[in-house]
Amino acid sequence: IEVTTLVRDLTDRSSTLDLHADLVTGCRFLHRELIEDIRDRILSIDGIFIWNTFVEFENTVNLAPPYRIKRKLAPNELNNTFTAQTTTRQFTVLHD
Provide CB contacts within 8 A for 41, sequence distance 6+: 16
Q: Examine the pLDDT at 19 and tell me if it is beyond 80.
A: yes
pLDDT at 48: 92
pLDDT in tens, 3-13: 888 888 888 88
Cα(52)–Cα(18) distance, integer angstroms: 25
- pLDDT, mean over the chain: 82
Q: Model confidence over 66-92: pLDDT tens digits?
A: 767 778 888 888 888 888 776 677 888
Per-residue pLDDT, 91: 82
pLDDT at residue 64 tops 70: no
Q: Are 66 and 85 in contact (CB under 8 A)?
A: no
